[in-house]
Amino acid sequence: MDKKGLAGGALYYDAHGRIQEQKARLVVLACNGLGTPRLLLNSQSPLFPDGLANGSGLVGKNLMCHPSATVMGQFEEELDTYKGPRACSLISEEFYESDPSRGFVRGHAWLCGRSGVTGPVGTALLGTWGQDHHKVFRELFNHTLEISALGDDLSQETNRVVLDPILTDDTGIPAPKLIVQHSENTRRLIEHAIERIKELLEAAGARKILWRPEDGCLPMHRATSLSPLIPSCWRMCANAALSTSTFDLAWPYRRWYVSHAPGDGSPMVSSDVYVTPLQ
């Protein structure tokens, strides 16, 4: 990056730890929602003391992820849920649209299909150990069904990617550090999803809603878990003071762009249930 803010290429470490330079007429940065802010924040110099494209101070901020929850039901009959490829076979969008009367905004979609938990190894790990292990395994294996919910996330400036003050990679470059606290809206969204999935499983004949042994008192779900590969923390809009780029062209520079890798919505200002960014 020259003094005019024109990108002429990139510096990188090769396999032997030597710094190499790759010249380019245009530079496209597409390192996912974690790698992109990490690279920009690490690209500090006297000309760019806060990192590249960070004149607004928003690089890495407004992190959005996928809050999710998974609930499992145990049934009397055999379900054959361990057979076939691991994939989603059924999708429900009943609660996809935003409805403030539920006590939160945005929505969630449900995914139903074969998962690793329903296979032999996953079932064995889900059950108890000791004298009753085989008995519990027979009750669970081929008798369980998982339904997962994926929810929308809201943009919050306090949710962000920063540089870790201690952890580095093998070249000494600081690693990314995630700072995330779920909003009350996200917690209500996930609670709503869990309760509705429980109702569905019970209405379908589930005799038991399973619980993770290690959780003790929590339902069998990954409540408000995050999908770390698809966060959005690179805000795009037409106002340089409120964003880090306009249509993927980084403020205030030229000849370099920030784009998103497949499934990654780094530049987008809103998230989506299935993929980030909002399509």
What's the pLDDT tens digit per position in 24-61? 988 888 787 788 889 989 988 888 888 887 878 888 88
Residue 215 predicted with pLDDT over 50: no
- Kindly report which listed range (137-141, 181-185, 200-204, 256-260) carries the lowest average pLDDT score: 256-260
Q: What are the tens digits of pLDDT across the range 249-276?
A: 454 555 566 665 544 555 555 555 555 4
DSSP per residue, 87-145: SEEEEE-TT-S--GGGTSSS-EEEEEE--GGGSHHHHHHHS--STTHHHHHHHHTTSEE
Determine how β-strand 88-92 pairs with β-strand 68-74. Answer: unpaired
pLDDT at 90: 86
Q: Best-predicted range by mean pLDDT among 89-98, 120-129, 244-253?
A: 89-98
Report the phi/psi class of residue 224: left, alpha or beta, with left for phi > 0 and alpha for psi in -120 to 50.
left
- The CB density around residue 133, as the number of other CB atoms within 10 Å, is 12
Rounded-to-5 percentages of helix, strand, coil across the chain: 20, 25, 55
pLDDT at residue 92 above 70? yes
Q: Which residue has the tokens 């403020």?
A: 251
Neighbours of 275 (CB within 10 A): 16
Mention every residue, 6+ apart, whose C-beta is less than 8 A from residue 125.
none
Nearest to 266 by CA among 78, 43, 37, 93: 37
**SS3 (DSSP) at 41:** helix
Report which of 29, 26, 37, 5 is spatially closest to residue 235, judged by C-alpha positions.
37
Distance CA 65, CA 16 (A): 35
Q: What's the pLDDT score for residue 25?
A: 86
pTM: 0.75
Q: Which two tokens stand for residue 209?
A: 């809603």
Model pLDDT, residue 243: 46
Q: Which amino acid is at 29?
A: L
Q: Supply the mean pLDDT for the chain.
A: 77
Q: Return the domain boundaries, the chain.
A: 1-63+230-279, 68-155+181-209
Q: Which helix (H) or strand (E) holds 203?
A: helix 184-203
Give me the residue label for tokens 């049934």: 75
pLDDT value of position 174: 96
Q: Across 135-252, where does the E strand assignment appear? A: 144-151, 160-168, 174-179, 208-209, 245-246, 249-250
Residue 115 pLDDT level (bands cut at 50, 70, 90): low
- pLDDT tens-digit profile of 2-26? 777 778 888 899 999 899 999 998 8
The Cα–Cα gap between 10 and 42 comes to: 13
What is the distance between the alpha carbons of residues 250 and 30, in angstroms, rounded to a whole number?
Answer: 12
